[in-house]
Amino acid sequence: MEGSFQLTKSHWLFIVLAGLFITNAVTAELISNKLIEIPLSFQVGGMKIGPFVTIVGILPWPIVFLLTDLINEFYGPKVIRKLSWITAGLIFYCFIVVGLSLLLPAVELPNSGLSDNKSYNLVFGQAQMVIVGSIAAFLVSQLLDSTIFSFIKKRTGSKYIWLRSTGSTVISQLIDSFIVLYIGFVLPGNMSFNDFLTIAPTNYVLKLVIAIALTPLIYLGHWWLRKYFFTPKDLELNPNKS
């Protein structure tokens, strides 16, 4: 059709990456009101450390780490910042929809297996404060991550992918891990401050370990995208690459 907009491979790739980014971020916020135990323990100087307790919302974050790096690398920090704001807005939209759903009484059918009013409100009512904390934590950490990533890349060029990927995560996730737990759990009274001081560092260390473990996948992702989606000329002409 005359005048129609033609999407290139890099456009379609961005749509897929952005869709995955948003889906994993929103999913993490909706499930983060559940604590889980990581069955790992070790001895340090005769003292047993572990097992560890953290929020189940940590599960989708490895994908967010990977996608943040790839979008930042190939589409630029401006794009990842705008995508972060859009994602925060969509998380807030979920907050509104969930809030409205809490106001509607459930029709409790006998033996239906569906959630009754009390069970539904218990799960999603608590998730509301988690979502509030997550929006604040998500925006602060993502904007900080993109800034640090860009800072390191300007000084190292195309070298040291691991440094800009892990280096940005080390600082951004330190802030994220503490903000989301404090606003989402401590302020509503669902977690004591002493438990917070135990769980928040665990949450941060786990995210950091995951980020380091993902380094080979980040290199693989860079190789795959350069080989099949971007030519050297594309990268040279990309105004958002730095």
The confidence score (pLDDT) of residue 135 equals 81
Predicted confidence band of residue 218 (pLDDT cuts 50, 70, 90): confident
Task: Select from 166, 153, 160 the least CA-distant residue to 77.
Answer: 153
The confidence score (pLDDT) of residue 161 equals 80
DSSP-assigned states of every residue in 146-160: HHHHHHHHHHHTTS-
Query: For residue range 35-62, what is the model confidence (pLDDT) as tens digits?
Result: 788 777 766 666 666 677 777 878 888 8
The confidence score (pLDDT) of residue 238 equals 56
Give the residue, 15 or 169, on which the prediction is more confident.
15
Predicted confidence band of residue 4 (pLDDT cuts 50, 70, 90): low
The confidence score (pLDDT) of residue 69 equals 87
* Spatial distance between the Cα atoms of 10 and 125, rounded to a whole number of angstroms: 40
Mean pLDDT of 141-155: 84
Helix axes 9-31, 77-103, angle to 10 degrees: 40
Per the prediction, the chain carries an average pLDDT of 80
Query: For residue range 79-116, what is the model confidence (pLDDT) as tens digits?
Result: 999 999 999 999 889 888 888 988 888 777 776 667 77
- How many percent of the chain have pLDDT more than 70? 85
pLDDT of residue 237 exceeding 50, the answer is: no
The confidence score (pLDDT) of residue 239 equals 46
Domains belonging to the chain, first-starting first, are 9-105+113-235 (1.10.1760)
